Structure 1
Amino acid sequence: MPVVTLEDTITLALSVRDRHTSAKWYADNLGFEVLYHADDAGWSELQTKTVGVTLGLGEQSEPSPGNTVPVFGVADIASARSALEEAGVKFDGPTETIEGMVSTATFYDPDGNALMIAQDLTAEG
């Protein structure tokens, strides 16, 4: 039995210089649909052609090419994080929350690859 039960969604998070320009590129060239731009959070999200898979674009002044972080949806980030920590999984700092939007926590696999869990907070409230 797995330590954590994941939801049926995954977001592939990329670092980009300009989210709006990149979102247009993905829409024009790959047919992805822009779901939203969260300008205050520096984040944009697009629906890929695969059900349950979105592409997240995080704006950074100096993005690291090739640094894709899979973001796995969870129903309760506190319990998921706790279960992973009890299993010896290493996290990178505290859980971060953007109120009314999302809570995220970055962790690492045995080879140091970054992964993330996220709880959608948009339905709360």
Structure 2
Amino acid sequence: MQNDMNDNINAEVKNAGKDRTPVWGIMGIAVGLLLLGQMVFQGFELHNWWACFMLIPGMGMGWRAYRLYQRQGRISPQVADQLIGSLPLLTVALIFLLNLDFGRVWPIFIIMGGLMTLLRSKVEPRTYQPE
């Protein structure tokens, strides 16, 4: 019974990244529009535009966590892993995009660490099943 459940969860994790959703296309269009807006509209400046390349994988991991949550109906270890991986990427990307001073916003990372620890404590532990 437990082994079947682990197999189903592993299959869901593997298939979560293969969804035929428009999220990657939408992210590509959004990044392109931001870069185009910077070049076309005077006064619209996107500082550190390269941080968009950190934002994209962070958003992808967040989307994958959302899809896993929808399928499983709970915050499983796989959902928590995706969220924990996406939060630092999204935070650093937004700090660079908004041109914020790391010297003033570094406590965000301590808060994020606490949130991640709480999230992990609310998730049932993984059970190791040797193959």
TM range (shorter): under 0.3
Which protein has the bigger strand share?
A: 1
TM-score when normalising by structure 1: 0.23
TM-score when normalising by structure 2: 0.22
Bigger-Rg structure (1/2):
2
Which protein has the bigger helix share?
A: 2
